[in-house]
Amino acid sequence: MSEPIIGDLMSDQIEVFAVCPADAIERSGAMGFSLSRIDDRGESRPFPIIVVRTFANDYFGYVNRCPHESVWLNIGSGAFFSADRSFLRCGRHGARFEIDTGICIDGPCDGQSLEPVALAVIEGDVCLCGVKLLEDDGFADLFADGDETMDITIHPD
């Protein structure tokens, strides 16, 4: 018998990466994120994703790539949604996708789907699950650790 899914999510085997605070995305809103995924050869590859928050407070995640020509959904206008905000929309081709399934219901990729990514809200953060990412440690703060800087005293003499 296999373990329940929740047991798998809580094990050390699943990579979990906090993408943003859950409240950073407004209800009926979406945000794009440019991440870097580690592929099977250990190399870093671009991994653009979209996180959508519904009015009902559910979160859905997709790779930010239209299945028609592999362009970002928000290319052009910068918007992720159709005019009435009821569908995700490709800015280049006008294809419309169901928010909760990612299935294209209208456009050149009709019947195809956006690639889903597993999300979970954990302790107030939207987290990406099951993807090995390159963690960005950012730039070192040169003034963060006073022990590594020299103290200089200037005398008026």
pLDDT 10s digits, 85-132: 999 999 988 999 999 999 999 999 999 999 999 999 999 999 999 988
Do residues 126 and 119 lie in contact, with contact meaning Cβ atoms separated by under 8 Å?
yes
The backbone torsions φ and ψ at residue 23, rounded to the nearest 5 degrees and listed phi first, read -80, -5
Q: What is the pTM of this model?
A: 0.76
Q: What is the mean pLDDT of the chain?
A: 82
42: left (phi over 0), alpha (psi -120 to 50) or beta: left
User: CA-to-CA distance for 25 and 126, rounded, in angstroms?
Assistant: 10
Q: In the structure, what pLDDT confidence band is assigned to residue 54 with cuts at 50, 70 and 90?
A: very high
pLDDT at 12: 54
